[in-house]
């Protein structure tokens, strides 16, 4: 399964260009792995590089995280909408 990201500057996340500080064992492993895989010229591994590598090699994980995020976003939208509707009803009374 090949995952491709289309460049869209309107929805670009600045966090993806941040350099990763390997301050935990897992981050260290990911930085080393992605650094060897991508061989960046400046030796800096960014969050975006890690996301791309994980999406390509473990798409099931990225999909599960994305689905969970999507569901939680819709859940929050319904909670917000319900609160707005209840506020409108209270104001009318």
| Integer Rg of the chain from CA | 19
Please give the pLDDT value at position 79. 83
Please give the pLDDT value at position 22. 94
Tens-digit pLDDT profile for residues 59-83: 999 999 999 988 888 888 888 888 7
Please give the pLDDT value at position 62. 94
The three-class DSSP label of residue 46 is: strand
Percent of the chain with pLDDT over 90: 58
For the chain, the maximum distance between any two Cα atoms, rounded to a whole number of angstroms, is 65
Mean of pLDDT over the chain: 86
Say if CB 56 and CB 3 are below 8 A apart: yes
> Residue 6: is its pLDDT beyond 90?
no
> Residue 47: is its pLDDT beyond 60?
yes
DSSP-derived letter for residue 16 is G
């Amino acid at each position: 399964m090949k995952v491709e990201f289309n460049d869209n500057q309107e929805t670009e996340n600045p966090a993806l260009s941040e350099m990763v500080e390997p301050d935990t064992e897992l981050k260290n492993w990911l930085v080393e792995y992605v650094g060897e895989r991508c061989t960046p010229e400046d030796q800096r591994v960014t969050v975006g590089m890690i996301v791309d590598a994980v999406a390509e090699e473990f798409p099931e994980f990225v999909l599960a995280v994305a689905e969970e995020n999507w569901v939680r976003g819709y859940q929050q939208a319904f909670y917000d909408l319900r609160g707005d509707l209840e506020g409108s009803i209270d104001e009318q009374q």
